[in-house]
Structure 1
Amino acid sequence: MRFNQFVLVTASVLALAACGGKERPKTDLAASQVTTIGVNSYLWRASLDALSFMPLLQTDSAGGVIVTDWYVNPNSPGERMKLTVSILDQDLRADALRVAASREVNQNGQWVAAPTRAATVQKLEGIILTKARDLRRSAIAD
């Protein structure tokens, strides 16, 4: 009886060893859902990259919030912008990103709230989404 058990165990070990020579399929490191920082890392990195020219007040990678300080464009010294970017999901999707903008204009030395064009926010969201998709494509290619 012991000999039969030995043969069975040896056959099982050899069968498992034969499976070890195959290469495992690569894990998709660029999956649309990346949760190491609480939100989609491609959207997070793309947002930080897109806002790199502005001073940052707050960044919360767990909550997915980036708040900038007021930024004055040297070409338009009479106006300034402040942005809040919120990443709402762990998936890389357009509806997982929300950008809110505040704009002020200088009138007689006082900063006064002014309307922000919707196209400005939409353009920034488009830039961030394009950068995030490019980051994902690069990760897949590697």
Structure 2
Amino acid sequence: MSTTRPCQTSLYVRHTTHLVAVLTLFTLTACSGGDKASDLTAPRNHLLSEDRGATGGDDQLNGGVNAYLWRGALDTLSFMPIASADAVGGFILTDWYTPPAAHGERFKITAYILDRRLRSDALRVSVFRQMQQDGAWIDTPPAANMASDITSKILARARELRADNGNRDN
């Protein structure tokens, strides 16, 4: 005689059905990948390939952003870990960075390249700052001139890259 009740049996059948469905899904996913499974373990740095695509002789990337501004922004922000970068869309987002001399304080920067031309209004930089208080990170406004200082450094680097290329835009 069975000691299981009808509701326990249906619960067992439901869980077993879900388990079989999940295992089938994993099996199909693994089989359909072909050689892509080996790509998962291969180290890749998409940022470097995008950066190399923004050669100094090009005044724009495929997406329509200025290559000098793109390279200048990457060069200027290279001391921070890059969380995300899109050369086509002209977007760079850093991860949180704590300066060596500042404990309990961290920064994150977002840079947008908005135009194909090398102009100061083709770049927008946002700086985010947090301070650690009682074990929690609290949003704190950065210094008023921090975003403009970083923007100036990016623009200066972009102009330097352009000058190194003979002041050519194409």
* Smaller-chain TM-score bracket: 0.7 to 0.9
- Size of the aligned set, in residue pairs, is 114
The 4+ residue runs of structure 1 with deviation greater than 3 A are 29-33
Do structure 1's residue 34 and structure 2's residue 53 form an aligned pair?
no
What per-residue deviation string (whole Å, max 9, x for no partner) do you get for residues 16-53 of structure 1?
A: xxxxxxxxxxxxx9789424453100000010000111
CA distance in 2, matches of 1:53, 1:88: 23
* Relative contact order, higher structure (CA 8 A, sep 6+): 1
CA contact (8 A) 2:57 2:165 kept: no
What residue in structure 2 maps to residue 92 of structure 1?
Answer: 118
Distance of aligned partners of 1:105 and 1:77 in 2 relative to their CA distance in 1, 3 Å threshold: same
Q: State the distance in 2 between where 1:60 and 1:31 align.
A: 19
TM (norm. structure 1) is: 0.74
Where structure 1 has 5 or more consecutive residues not aligned to the other structure, the ranges are 1-28
Match of 2:77 in 1: 51
CA RMSD of aligned residues (A): 2.1
2:140 maps to amino acid: A
Which amino acid in 2 is paired with 1:128?
Answer: I
Secondary structure in structure 2 of the residue aligned to 1:71? coil
Bigger fraction of residues in strand: 1
How far did 1:74 drift?
1.1
Kindly provide the CA deviation profile for residues 36-83 of structure 1, in whole angstroms up to 9, marking residues without a partner as x: 453100000010000111011110001000000000011001100001
Percent identity of paired positions between Structure 1 and Structure 2 = 44
**Counterpart AA for 2:120:** A
Q: 1:113 aligns to what SS in structure 2?
A: strand
Corresponding residue for residue 103 of structure 2: 77
Question: Is the contact between residue 65 and residue 87 of structure 1 (CA under 8 Å) also seen in structure 2?
Answer: yes
